[in-house]
Chain A
Amino acid sequence: MRLSLLQRLEDAHDDSVWAAAWAPNSNTLVTGSVDESVKLWQESGDTLEQQHHLVGLSLGVLGVSVDSSGQYGAASSLDSYVTVWNMEDYSTVHQFTDIPPSEAWGLAFAPAGEKLLLAVAGGSSNGVRLLDVNAKEQAATLAMPDVTDKQRKERFVLSVAYSPDGRRIAAGGMDGTVALFDTATGKLLHTLDGHFKPVRDLCFTPDSSMVITACDDNHAHLYAAEQGELVEAFSGHESWVLSVSAHPSGTAFATGSSDSKVKLWDMQTRTCAQTCSEHTDQVWGVRFRADGARLASTSDDRSVCLFDFAG
């Protein structure tokens, strides 16, 4: 397996690019930056071309997501507003403005279901907020487990992910707590142990059976979701692991790190298959496209890199 750089888009934003998401079943990439804007890019002929520029996302964009239909895009900003827009005409569908500041961080749309649900990592609320986009209201909250461990002091949820089958939600926090919830009941299933430092990103494997985490302890962990067991710890990054994305085939995943590297990991051999050094500063976002043929990475160096993935 191999990643090869197709394009290094310099100055994709005016400042650090913190978030990235591909629209399902399309060539549209969404990026969010501290420059208080979201950009939509269309890939054509192996290069990204800017399609639209959404501005006014106060204090910077923490996370972006596109729903399974590809109709809606969502972004959370540092002032804890969650903005949902129409991907076709870029009009604002709704802005959730009543989330208290510091109670929104990363976010993820639920896979196709009855309702259009959006999971938002709840920051200092120490839980996960489920927003019903169509009803323009909060549908539910999931509370992170109480931890008795004295070492775990910083109760702040940074990251959230839906399993592809929609049955599970995973969330990671500042103190290294990783929780697995049942979507239907909202019940806490497991606490995934092993991290003690901020888990800034996590994702499920395509078969929904495993969770991969990215942590400031320089590691990515692989957990068996249903058993709640640590299966593997991937080390190799020389600094914080900030972002993780599983390949749709389940054979690989990618990580981005503060060491400015993007690494590709082989799930079979459980080793690092490739290290990409195209970025010159922290890599905050890595995302595989739904068809698995592309990987996008975003960084503090203001650039966005587009890679071709060959299995």
Chain B
Amino acid sequence: MEVDEATLFLPINGAVVAVQPAGQTVDGLLRILRTGAPITAWLHASQHLLATGREGFEALLSEGIEREQQGQRSDVFGHIQALCSLAEFHVQQAAAERDRRQRILLLSSATELCHKAQRLNIKEQLPELVLGAVALVKNDVTAAKKGFEKAISMRCNGRPSIAPHLALASLHFNQRNYTEALRLYKLVLRTCPSCPAEVRLGIAACCLKAGNMEKAELAYKRTLQLLPNCTAALLGLAVLKLHVSNKEQDMREGSLLLAQAFEQDPDNPFVLLLLAHLCLRQGFMEKARQLAQTVLQHGGHNSVQAEALTILARAHHALGHMQEAFRCYQQAAQLDPKLPLPKLGLAQMSVFVGEPINAVSMLESLLMDAPQWIDALQVLGRVYPKTTLKSTKVVPQFKEAAAQRPKDAELWELLGDLLSSQEPAGALKAYVKAIEIRRDALQASLAAEGSSQLPPRLLNNAAVLHLRAGNSDVSYALMAEAMQAAGGLGLEGVSSLAQITLGYNMARVKESCGNLKAAEAEYKDLLKQFPQYGDCYLRLACISKARGNTKVALQWAEQAVNKPAFQSDALALIAGLHLERRDYHNAKQVLDKLLGQADSKQVAFAKLAMANLHAYSAPSGKRKDDSIRKAETHYTHALELYRRVLEKDEGCIFAANGIGCVLAELGNLSAAKEVFLQVQEASAASNGFWRMPDAWINLANVYLAQQQYTPAIQMYKNALRKFYDNRNAVIMLYLARAQYDADQMPEATRTLTKALHLAPTDHNLRFDVAVTLQESAVRTLQKKTQSGDPNRHKELVRAVRDLARAHRFFQQLHGLGRESGLDSRKLQQHINFIAVTHSSATLHVEKAKEDAQLAEQRQAAAMAQAVAQEKSRQLTEGKKLAEQDAERRRQEEQARSDAERLKQLQEQWRTNATMQKAVATGDASVVPKGGITDGEAALNARVDALFETSEDDDDYVPDGDDDGQEGRDAAEDDAVLDEPAGQSAHLSKSKHQAVLDEDEDADAS
């Protein structure tokens, strides 16, 4: 029977009446129904009204229900259906209702209706389902879930129904619990294979969300087979092709699918939205805007509206209509607070209007809900540098996101940007990775495209970090590539600002590579073009400083002071120059000025420098109470400043180092050591980004003060090699001091000599060389040795010569008078001491010379004796050999006679009858032969034994002497150790003074 869809067949009074509701007014329908229609008829009619979008559903259904209640009809299920229908209607109204009170009213009415229905039949499923929906609108997901789950265990009019399964699946889906949703959809499909195609749609959506693209595609396709015109399935497939894949073919297919969906259902908001998305993506902003506007005009669910507004906002955003974009984002965010995109947009807007801190807080909360959302991370990554906030919170997310995307160069670069301020080593790694990715990509596409340039920005940033890490060569190569890349892009590709930056960095790299001349020229060139570029002044000052021309350096720095943006840097540099010259007065003035600038970037530096200044200028004289008190004030001041810096920046190793120094100065060596060890560790962990030679030196100084000479020496040597190209006279002085204290006199002398070679004008060094020579000579002279040591004379000659050299040095230094900066009384003492020692030493030498001659004679005698012994030994040996010979001959003789006797015996045996048998079975000749072999072996053994003893004799002569020598050496060592320090104590003090003074100097650099 062909039925017009619009025709309603209503069973009224036992007859079926065909009604054309389209032609009827609501009143007309009422009239027909009032003639005694059963509740089902009322339900159908009202549902028809709802489906066709006409008014009157509620009125119609309410009247039907009322009549049913009064009429005592027996159609309980129909009654329940009607009640639940009305309840469901109220639920939907409530969901769309903005007014909270109204919504509560609607929901309570729906709940009441359901309860009514439940009173009719408590086991009926429908009311439970609707109650679940009520709970959902109330946002009580747990209650909704319970409701749906309960409904699953019930029946609908006595039959099982899949409706609660679907409701629960949808709930799980919305809760992003895709696996559970998928399980339910699958269950439905199994129990009811004839279920609506929408179930497959649900499966597809679940698969899509869970990332199982293949299954999703299959499910969508199956849906389309069942319902070829299913817009949702088309849309789903289109999404799959357009958003998930990046292949060109998929894009085309996706567009086709979308077009099909659009043709089919041009008003479907989801189709329009996806279309708008596509337009956005392809840059048709105006078109996207129109589409979104259409969706908005059609109205619909909040989430759809919000989505449309978001697209609208993004279109405006892209078109540069910031105000409208802002408005749209805001509306969207209000409509659907769960939608992340509008918030991202709002964050971007905040950045745009110069409120990066707002943006950061928005993005951070966004990322809490949606961790590792790349877009948000990317925006955040770009915002952080604009704020003073610490990006520590999202860094782990960033790192994880990057680790999961090993091909995303942009993300790695962003990670680099993010890390550059707080974790330069990590940043460098990220940049290197980004470059690597890009190079790989380039190599892959090189055949297709000609260009082979990396973004100059990335290259530049990586180069800068390499420079900071001390890899000048790598940095230079990258910088050169960046310049080339920038040149390739032309002026349009790279802003003029970026060009300046590149130029400056290139000069900076050249400077660090040692090409000061080129760097200088380039800085000057940049200044000609951009006189405001204060960094160039500062670098020029640094170059002059590196050349040792402090005057010019100060001039350049002064010029930068006039540029407000660079004032604090320039002041810091000037303070550094003064400090280097130990001009504490001027340094303090500059630092005071620097500290006076409230928002100066260099506050931390100024505090540190001021703290150092206090520490340096603390009087070191320990004799006067006054100076002790003064020193204490200085150190307290310094400590306080260091502490304040550390409060702001707990990772500041300079401040930590400073604290260590002060602790050491105050005598708390173990605490100082602890601090220095930590600083050293931190410095080592930074992969060369924080070069902190001071930590090494200070640690070594502490070791030295604690008399742990071996680690001290090792530490000084490492520091010299690692940080100073083995050419820092001050640290060599420390090293020599440690070697001296460790009783390594020759090494100490050598180290001091090398230091003096580097710094020939350093009177302290010359003095120390002389002291070491003197001490070394004294120790040699005092060495208790057995007379007759042949080396003794040589040693003494050398000692006397050393004394003479030391004397020369002391006299020269004494002659300098005040100029030497040394205590002339002390020098005179040295001179006098040497004069005395020298004369007594010459006696020693004479004695030793005699001894040596004696020893020589003795040695000659010993030699002669040895020769004689050798001769006699040879003689004895000859004799022995002769004896052996005789013995051998005797034995041979014996053997021969034995053999002969054997022969005779054999002859006898042969004649013996019983022996004949044995002869017949074996070879009798073996017997006598064996006898002879044994005899020979015995002989050999005897000869071997002889030679063994003669070898022992050989070793005999020199052995005894060696033992004696060893014994003496050991005795000498003891003597040296026990020997009183004498002059060395005096030296210790003076040298310790020098060490401490210079220590401060090392800190200054």
Chain A residues within 8 Å of B, Cβ to Cβ: 15-16, 18, 34, 58-60, 62, 78-80, 100-102, 105, 123-124, 151, 154-156, 158, 174, 176, 195-197, 216-219, 233-240, 258-260, 281-282, 300
Contacts and interface: CB of A to CB of B under 8 A. Distances in A.
Contacts of B809: 101
B750 A34 contact: yes
Contacts of B14: none
A218 B472 contact: no
Interface centre among A101, A233, A281 (most CB of B within 10 A): A101
Contacts of B750: 15, 34
Contacts of A58: 801, 805
A62 B757 contact: yes
Contacts of A260: 725
Interface in B725-765: 725-727, 749-750, 753-754, 756-757, 760-761
B547 A124 contact: no
A216 B546 CA distance: 9
A60 B551 contact: no
B874 interface: no
B421 interface: no
Contacts of B801: 58
Contact of B547 (A60, A197, A259): A197
B546 A282 contact: no
A219 B517 contact: yes
Nearest to B519: A235
5 contacts: A16-B754, A18-B757, A79-B805, A235-B516, A236-B513
B515 interface: yes
Contacts of B547: 195-197, 217, 219
A156 B761 CA distance: 7
Interface of B: 472, 513-518, 546-551, 725-727, 749-750, 753-754, 756-757, 760-761, 766, 769, 801, 805, 808-809, 812, 815
A59 B751 CA distance: 11
B727 A258 contact: yes
Contact of A258 (B546, B725, B754, B808): B725
A217 B517 contact: no
B551 A282 contact: no
Nearest to A156: B761
Contacts of A16: 754
A145 B167 CA distance: 101
A30 B28 CA distance: 128
B757 A235 contact: no
A102 B766 contact: yes
A52 B2 CA distance: 126
B514 A60 contact: no
B550 A151 contact: yes
Given A101-B812, A151-B549, A238-B513, A158 B754 contact: no
Given A59-B756, A218-B546, 10 more contacts: A18-B757, A59-B769, A79-B808, A100-B815, A101-B808, A102-B760, A158-B760, A176-B548, A233-B517, A235-B517
A105 B805 CA distance: 16
Nearest to B517: A235
A281 B726 contact: yes
B725 A217 contact: no
Nearest to A18: B757
Contacts of B815: 100
A196 B549 contact: yes
A197 B514 CA distance: 16
A101 B766 CA distance: 10
A151 B551 CA distance: 8
A18 B754 CA distance: 10
Contacts of B756: 59, 78
A136 B212 CA distance: 99
A248 to B, nearest CB: 26
B182 to A, nearest CB: 64
A15 B515 CA distance: 31
A80 B518 CA distance: 40
Nearest to B749: A59
A240 B514 CA distance: 10
B548 A216 contact: yes
A34 B758 CA distance: 12
A238 B512 CA distance: 8
Contacts of A155: 761
A247 B725 CA distance: 27
B812 A100 contact: yes
Contacts of B514: 218, 235-239, 259
B754 to A, nearest CB: 6
A219 B549 CA distance: 13
A156 B759 CA distance: 10
A80 B756 CA distance: 13
Contact of A197 (B513, B548, B753, B766): B548
Contact of B757 (A78, A79, A101, A233): A78
Nearest to A261: B514
Contacts of B550: 151
